[in-house]
Amino acid sequence: MKSYKVESTKRALADADEAFMWIFNEGVPEAALHWYDGLIEALRSLERSPLRCGSARENSFFEDDIRQLIYGRYRILFTVKGNTVYVLRVRHAARRTLNPDDELAEARRE
């Protein structure tokens, strides 16, 4: 089985930290820790089979193939280049679709 290297952009890491702090500040520290542990496990799953994930709704706005892995109420947006998975964003599913003028474009340039 092919193995991939997973690299997160600064923006994706900031997204994850923001989500963690939101859950933590809601008064549920244990839930925040559980969520973060699950996020790490979800990201690790991309080492084995990132191409199992479908295209993200943002895909039509960008040249690169933008895929998504659903983790609970969050979408992990990423692209695959060769043997490397680049995690671009971690977004709550209720948030609007990103377009080229948004931070996804910035994340791709990091």
**Tally of CA atoms within 13 A in the half-sphere of 10 that contains its CB:** 5
The structural domain count of the chain equals 1
* Domain hosting residue 78, numbered range: 5-109
User: Residue 69 has which token pair?
Assistant: 């892995």
Helix (H, G, I), strand (E, B) or coil at 88: strand
Consecutive H or E run containing 4:
none
User: Cα(105)–Cα(102) distance, rounded to whole angstroms?
Assistant: 6
Q: Rounded mean pLDDT of the chain?
A: 89
Tokens 């609970």 map to which residue?
72
User: Is the pLDDT reported for residue 104 higher than 80?
Assistant: no
Helix axes 10-25, 29-45, angle to 10 degrees: 150
The CATH number covering residue 63 comes to 3.30.2310.20
- pLDDT tens string 46-93: 999 999 999 998 888 888 899 999 999 999 999 999 999 999 999 998
Most distant pair of Cα atoms in the chain: their distance: 42
What's the predicted TM-score (pTM) here? Answer: 0.88
